[in-house]
Structure 1
């Protein structure tokens, strides 16, 4: 198993955001995490990525405990996150933002400036522009490209379609099969259930910090999703 959480809990001060969450991600797999606002999806991503510290054994990477590692240490192991809100460096150009990802983890792999530009051609055209001068969709492509530049074996995508136009969402989601084909597993946190299920092998639904549904994406029914979201059948 590439990644596993075991009875994962997470707190913000006195507020508990996750309650005993168990998820797994196999090598090369795409896993979707769905749920309403406040369900704990982003907290789960932050815990896996090392942004939130946990007990070591609550997060395992290839069987080794990483729950207490820093985000930098987690990235060096090959786990990269595309954060909600993109968080580009406003003083840097598109290309400089991308290069930062490569500096964070210097390993050989399929992703380089050339391959990121092949994945998102518009970024090559605008590579000398400030990253934050781009449209929201193009900024999201930069954020994905920056994470890919570290050549991760696991890419965590937190709300990558949030606030984007449908045509841009289509282009962003079209990149995910190509990312998987290059060898990375992907976790997609998403509120758009249809989009999430269209690319995922398996899906978890979360509600109030707990997993309420775990299933193959191809086997999920509307009734099961409704019950997982709201705690009652339609």
Structure 2
């Protein structure tokens, strides 16, 4: 197993946001995490990526406990996150933002400036522009490219479609198969249930910090997803 969380508890100071969460990600697969606002989706991503610490054995990467590791060490192991809100460096150009990701590169791999520009050609055209001078969709492409520059085997995407136009969302999600073709697994956090079911091999639904449903999209009824998402029949 590439990644496992085992009874994961996490939160902020005295506020607990996750209560015994178990998920698993196999090499090369796409897993979607769905749930309403406040379900704990972003907290889960932060705990996996090392932004939030947990007990060591609550997060396993290739069987090795990493729950206690800080984010830079987690990234060096091969887990990169595209954070909600993109968080580009406003004083840096597109290319300089991408090169930040390369500083955490682990050995050789498929991703470098040229391959990122092939994935998102508009970034080559805007390479000298300030990152924050781009449209929201282009900024999201920079954030994804920055994460890929570290050559991860697991890419965590936290709300990558949030606030973007449908045509832009389509273009960004069209890049996922090419990312997975390099052998990387992808975890996508989504509020858009339809989008999540379209791209995922498996889905986990969170509600109030707990897993309420898991399965393959084709095996899950809309009614079951609705109940897991909202907590019962309307």
TM-score range, shorter chain: over 0.9
Return the offset for 1:105. 2.0
Asked if 1:8 is matched to 2:8, the reply is yes
Residues 39-77 of structure 1, C-alpha deviation per residue, up to 9 Å, x if partnerless? 000000000000000000000000010000000000000
In structure 2, the residue matched to 1:45 is 45
In structure 2, the residue matched to 1:162 is 162
Residues 101-131 of structure 1, C-alpha deviation per residue, up to 9 Å, x if partnerless? 0111242111111110000000000000000
Return the offset for 1:19. 0.2
Runs of 4+ that moved beyond 6 A: none
In structure 2, the residue matched to 1:56 is 56
Asked if 1:178 is matched to 2:174, the reply is no
Q: Which moved more, 1:104-113 or 1:87-96?
A: 104-113
Uncovered stretches (5+) of structure 1, i.e. residues with no partner: none
Contact 2:78 2:106 in 1 (8 A): no
In structure 1, the residue matched to 2:206 is 206
Return the offset for 1:11. 1.9
CA distance in structure 2 between the partners assigned to 1:11 and 1:90 by the alignment: 29
Equivalent residues in 2 for 1:1-234 (5 A)?
1-233=1-233
Contact 2:77 2:106 in 1 (8 A): no
Return the offset for 1:229. 1.0
TM-score (norm 1): 0.99
User: RMSD of the alignment, in Å?
Assistant: 0.7
Uncovered stretches (5+) of structure 2, i.e. residues with no partner: none
Contact 1:201 1:218 in 2 (8 A): no
Return the offset for 1:215. 0.5
CA distance in structure 2 between the partners assigned to 1:54 and 1:160 by the alignment: 25
Residues 62-106 of structure 1, C-alpha deviation per residue, up to 9 Å, x if partnerless? 001000000000000000000000000001000000011011124
Contact 1:54 1:68 in 2 (8 A): yes
TM-score (norm 2): 0.99
CA distance in structure 1 between the partners assigned to 2:211 and 2:105 by the alignment: 32
Contact 1:224 1:233 in 2 (8 A): no
